[in-house]
Chain A
Amino acid sequence: MEAVTKNKRIPPKSIRKGWETRSERKPRPLSSFTGEWIEVTEGMFCHHKPDKYLFP
Protein backbone atom coordinates (compact mmCIF):
# COMPACT_ATOMS: atom_id res chain seq x y z
CA MET A 1 0.00 0.00 0.00
CA GLU A 2 2.86 2.29 0.93
CA ALA A 3 4.66 1.56 -2.34
CA VAL A 4 1.58 2.58 -4.34
CA THR A 5 1.40 5.91 -2.51
CA LYS A 6 5.09 6.55 -3.10
CA ASN A 7 4.78 5.99 -6.85
CA LYS A 8 1.72 8.19 -7.18
CA ARG A 9 2.83 11.39 -8.92
CA ILE A 10 0.87 14.57 -9.17
CA PRO A 11 1.21 15.96 -12.69
CA PRO A 12 2.57 19.52 -12.78
CA LYS A 13 0.28 22.29 -13.95
CA SER A 14 2.08 22.46 -17.28
CA ILE A 15 1.02 18.99 -18.42
CA ARG A 16 -2.60 19.36 -17.44
CA LYS A 17 -5.11 18.46 -20.11
CA GLY A 18 -5.56 21.25 -22.63
CA TRP A 19 -2.20 22.93 -22.00
CA GLU A 20 0.17 23.23 -24.95
CA THR A 21 3.76 24.27 -25.50
CA ARG A 22 3.70 27.91 -26.58
CA SER A 23 5.93 27.47 -29.62
CA GLU A 24 3.86 24.52 -30.87
CA ARG A 25 0.57 26.34 -30.65
CA LYS A 26 -1.04 26.79 -34.05
CA PRO A 27 -4.04 28.87 -35.09
CA ARG A 28 -7.18 26.87 -34.66
CA PRO A 29 -8.98 25.89 -37.91
CA LEU A 30 -12.10 27.99 -38.37
CA SER A 31 -13.97 24.86 -39.46
CA SER A 32 -13.57 23.43 -35.93
CA PHE A 33 -15.41 26.38 -34.40
CA THR A 34 -19.12 25.70 -33.89
CA GLY A 35 -19.86 29.11 -32.37
CA GLU A 36 -22.60 27.71 -30.19
CA TRP A 37 -24.02 30.23 -27.72
CA ILE A 38 -25.54 29.24 -24.42
CA GLU A 39 -27.86 31.57 -22.54
CA VAL A 40 -26.84 31.81 -18.89
CA THR A 41 -29.78 31.38 -16.58
CA GLU A 42 -29.68 32.69 -13.02
CA GLY A 43 -27.64 30.44 -10.75
CA MET A 44 -26.00 28.50 -13.58
CA PHE A 45 -22.52 29.26 -12.26
CA CYS A 46 -23.18 30.64 -8.79
CA HIS A 47 -25.98 29.19 -6.67
CA HIS A 48 -25.90 32.02 -4.17
CA LYS A 49 -28.39 34.77 -5.03
CA PRO A 50 -27.32 38.14 -3.62
CA ASP A 51 -29.69 40.57 -1.89
CA LYS A 52 -28.75 43.21 -4.42
CA TYR A 53 -27.01 42.94 -7.77
CA LEU A 54 -24.35 45.39 -8.94
CA PHE A 55 -26.59 45.77 -12.01
CA PRO A 56 -30.28 44.85 -11.69
Chain B
Amino acid sequence: MKFDSEPYKVQFVQKSSPTRSDDFLFAEIYKFFTDKKLKYIVRAELYENNTFTVKYYAAIHKYLDDKYSVLTHQQDAHRIFITCFAIFKILSEKYPDASFAVNGSCSVDAQHNKIEGENRNQRYRIYSYVIDRLIGRETFAHYILPELSSYVLVNRVNKDTEAQRDAIKEMFLNLFDFDTDL
Protein backbone atom coordinates (compact mmCIF):
# COMPACT_ATOMS: atom_id res chain seq x y z
CA MET B 1 0.00 0.00 0.00
CA LYS B 2 1.31 3.46 -0.91
CA PHE B 3 1.72 5.91 1.97
CA ASP B 4 3.44 8.75 0.13
CA SER B 5 0.20 9.97 -1.51
CA GLU B 6 -1.19 13.37 -0.62
CA PRO B 7 -4.68 13.34 0.90
CA TYR B 8 -7.49 14.78 -1.21
CA LYS B 9 -8.60 18.30 -0.35
CA VAL B 10 -11.14 18.03 2.44
CA GLN B 11 -14.03 20.47 2.90
CA PHE B 12 -16.10 20.83 6.06
CA VAL B 13 -19.80 20.60 5.17
CA GLN B 14 -21.76 21.00 8.38
CA LYS B 15 -22.27 20.05 11.98
CA SER B 16 -25.33 17.87 12.15
CA SER B 17 -27.68 17.23 15.08
CA PRO B 18 -28.95 13.74 15.87
CA THR B 19 -32.49 12.67 15.08
CA ARG B 20 -34.61 11.10 17.82
CA SER B 21 -33.38 7.57 17.04
CA ASP B 22 -29.68 8.50 17.01
CA ASP B 23 -27.38 7.86 19.97
CA PHE B 24 -24.65 10.32 19.10
CA LEU B 25 -24.38 13.90 20.39
CA PHE B 26 -23.53 15.50 17.05
CA ALA B 27 -21.89 14.66 13.75
CA GLU B 28 -19.34 16.61 11.76
CA ILE B 29 -19.67 16.05 8.04
CA TYR B 30 -16.83 16.47 5.56
CA LYS B 31 -16.57 15.87 1.82
CA PHE B 32 -13.85 15.38 -0.72
CA PHE B 33 -13.57 14.53 -4.41
CA THR B 34 -11.27 11.88 -5.85
CA ASP B 35 -9.24 12.34 -9.04
CA LYS B 36 -12.03 10.52 -10.87
CA LYS B 37 -14.52 13.16 -9.60
CA LEU B 38 -16.19 10.73 -7.24
CA LYS B 39 -17.57 12.56 -4.23
CA TYR B 40 -17.09 11.02 -0.79
CA ILE B 41 -18.90 11.93 2.40
CA VAL B 42 -17.21 11.41 5.76
CA ARG B 43 -19.31 11.42 8.94
CA ALA B 44 -17.58 11.76 12.29
CA GLU B 45 -20.13 11.09 15.04
CA LEU B 46 -19.30 12.04 18.61
CA TYR B 47 -20.67 9.80 21.35
CA GLU B 48 -21.10 10.47 25.07
CA ASN B 49 -17.81 8.88 26.06
CA ASN B 50 -16.00 11.55 24.00
CA THR B 51 -15.36 9.10 21.21
CA PHE B 52 -15.70 9.75 17.51
CA THR B 53 -16.66 7.03 15.10
CA VAL B 54 -15.64 7.88 11.56
CA LYS B 55 -17.60 6.53 8.60
CA TYR B 56 -17.39 7.27 4.91
CA TYR B 57 -19.23 6.41 1.73
CA ALA B 58 -19.31 7.39 -1.93
CA ALA B 59 -22.08 9.97 -2.44
CA ILE B 60 -23.48 7.96 -5.36
CA HIS B 61 -24.45 5.30 -2.79
CA LYS B 62 -26.10 7.67 -0.32
CA TYR B 63 -29.58 6.17 -0.68
CA LEU B 64 -28.41 2.57 -0.18
CA ASP B 65 -28.95 0.90 3.19
CA ASP B 66 -25.49 -0.62 2.93
CA LYS B 67 -23.77 2.51 1.63
CA TYR B 68 -20.84 2.00 4.03
CA SER B 69 -20.22 -1.51 2.68
CA VAL B 70 -20.53 -1.17 -1.07
CA LEU B 71 -17.30 -1.28 -3.03
CA THR B 72 -16.62 1.34 -5.74
CA HIS B 73 -13.82 -0.53 -7.58
CA GLN B 74 -11.96 2.75 -8.22
CA GLN B 75 -8.56 1.27 -7.23
CA ASP B 76 -8.01 4.34 -5.08
CA ALA B 77 -8.52 2.94 -1.58
CA HIS B 78 -5.11 3.97 -0.22
CA ARG B 79 -5.64 7.66 -0.98
CA ILE B 80 -9.17 7.57 0.42
CA PHE B 81 -7.79 6.06 3.65
CA ILE B 82 -5.05 8.69 3.79
CA THR B 83 -7.73 11.39 3.37
CA CYS B 84 -9.82 9.91 6.19
CA PHE B 85 -6.76 10.02 8.42
CA ALA B 86 -6.27 13.67 7.47
CA ILE B 87 -9.80 14.17 8.86
CA PHE B 88 -8.70 12.39 12.06
CA LYS B 89 -6.00 15.03 12.31
CA ILE B 90 -8.51 17.88 11.84
CA LEU B 91 -10.82 16.39 14.48
CA SER B 92 -7.97 15.79 16.86
CA GLU B 93 -6.95 19.46 16.64
CA LYS B 94 -10.54 20.61 17.21
CA TYR B 95 -11.24 18.09 19.99
CA PRO B 96 -7.86 17.26 21.55
CA ASP B 97 -9.36 15.03 24.25
CA ALA B 98 -11.32 12.82 21.86
CA SER B 99 -10.77 9.12 21.29
CA PHE B 100 -11.57 7.37 18.00
CA ALA B 101 -13.27 4.13 17.09
CA VAL B 102 -13.13 2.61 13.63
CA ASN B 103 -15.18 -0.36 12.61
CA GLY B 104 -14.54 -2.36 9.47
CA SER B 105 -17.85 -2.58 7.61
CA CYS B 106 -18.62 -5.97 6.19
CA SER B 107 -18.17 -6.01 2.42
CA VAL B 108 -21.18 -6.84 0.30
CA ASP B 109 -21.10 -8.99 -2.82
CA ALA B 110 -24.20 -7.61 -4.56
CA GLN B 111 -23.91 -10.03 -7.46
CA HIS B 112 -24.31 -13.10 -5.22
CA ASN B 113 -26.33 -11.37 -2.48
CA LYS B 114 -23.74 -12.31 0.13
CA ILE B 115 -22.29 -10.39 3.03
CA GLU B 116 -18.97 -10.83 4.77
CA GLY B 117 -18.81 -11.94 8.42
CA GLU B 118 -18.08 -9.50 11.26
CA ASN B 119 -15.02 -11.24 12.63
CA ARG B 120 -11.71 -9.78 11.33
CA ASN B 121 -13.20 -8.67 8.06
CA GLN B 122 -11.29 -7.35 5.06
CA ARG B 123 -11.64 -3.65 5.89
CA TYR B 124 -10.61 -4.26 9.50
CA ARG B 125 -7.42 -5.97 8.31
CA ILE B 126 -6.57 -2.99 6.10
CA TYR B 127 -7.43 -0.38 8.77
CA SER B 128 -5.31 -2.25 11.33
CA TYR B 129 -2.33 -2.15 9.01
CA VAL B 130 -2.79 1.54 8.17
CA ILE B 131 -3.39 2.68 11.77
CA ASP B 132 -0.41 0.71 13.07
CA ARG B 133 1.67 2.34 10.35
CA LEU B 134 0.45 5.95 10.74
CA ILE B 135 -0.33 6.46 14.41
CA GLY B 136 2.19 6.22 17.24
CA ARG B 137 1.59 5.28 20.89
CA GLU B 138 2.25 8.59 22.64
CA THR B 139 -1.09 10.26 21.93
CA PHE B 140 -3.29 7.17 21.75
CA ALA B 141 -3.38 3.70 23.26
CA HIS B 142 -4.32 1.18 20.57
CA TYR B 143 -6.81 -1.63 21.16
CA ILE B 144 -8.63 -4.04 18.89
CA LEU B 145 -11.82 -5.99 19.27
CA PRO B 146 -11.41 -8.56 16.47
CA GLU B 147 -14.85 -10.13 17.01
CA LEU B 148 -16.47 -6.91 15.83
CA SER B 149 -13.66 -5.88 13.46
CA SER B 150 -13.13 -2.76 15.56
CA TYR B 151 -10.00 -0.73 16.16
CA VAL B 152 -10.05 1.80 18.99
CA LEU B 153 -7.64 4.66 19.67
CA VAL B 154 -8.01 5.75 23.30
CA ASN B 155 -6.69 9.23 23.95
CA ARG B 156 -4.04 9.16 26.66
CA VAL B 157 -5.58 12.23 28.33
CA ASN B 158 -7.73 9.52 29.91
CA LYS B 159 -5.66 8.38 32.86
CA ASP B 160 -7.34 5.00 32.82
CA THR B 161 -7.29 4.02 29.15
CA GLU B 162 -8.71 0.58 29.92
CA ALA B 163 -11.80 2.08 31.58
CA GLN B 164 -12.33 4.34 28.56
CA ARG B 165 -11.84 1.34 26.27
CA ASP B 166 -14.50 -0.62 28.17
CA ALA B 167 -16.91 2.33 27.94
CA ILE B 168 -16.42 2.23 24.17
CA LYS B 169 -17.24 -1.48 24.18
CA GLU B 170 -20.57 -0.72 25.88
CA MET B 171 -21.23 1.78 23.08
CA PHE B 172 -20.52 -0.94 20.49
CA LEU B 173 -22.93 -3.31 22.21
CA ASN B 174 -25.69 -0.76 21.76
CA LEU B 175 -24.76 -0.03 18.16
CA PHE B 176 -24.47 -3.60 16.92
CA ASP B 177 -27.36 -5.86 16.18
CA PHE B 178 -27.20 -8.45 18.97
CA ASP B 179 -29.86 -10.92 19.97
CA THR B 180 -30.20 -10.61 23.75
CA ASP B 181 -32.64 -13.54 24.12
CA LEU B 182 -31.17 -16.62 25.78
Contacts and interface: CB of A to CB of B under 8 A. Distances in A.
Contact of A48 (B133, B143, B148): B133
B182 interface: yes
A22 B114 contact: yes
Interface stretch (B40-48, B55-63, B134-142): B134-142
Given A28-B177, A29-B179, A37-B144, A20 B132 contact: no
Given A30-B179, A56-B136, A18 B143 contact: no
A46 B132 contact: yes
B117 interface: yes
Interface of B: 3, 85, 88-89, 92, 108-109, 111-119, 121, 128-148, 151, 162, 165-166, 169, 173, 176-182
Given A14-B112, A22-B114, A56-B138, A40 B177 contact: no
Interface residues of A, number: 36
Contacts of A12: 112
Contact of B109 (A14, A25, A43, A53): A14
A39 to B, nearest CB: 6
A50 B3 contact: yes
Contacts of A18: 116-117, 119, 121
A23 B165 CA distance: 33
- Chain B interface, >50% SS class: mixed
Contacts of B135: 53-55
A38 B132 contact: no
**Interface residues of A, dominant DSSP:** loop
Nearest to A37: B143
A2 interface: no
A54 B179 contact: no
Contacts of B111: 14
A26 B180 CA distance: 12
12 contacts: A21-B114, A27-B178, A28-B176, A28-B179, A29-B178, A33-B178, A42-B137, A44-B128, A45-B128, A45-B133, A48-B133, A55-B92
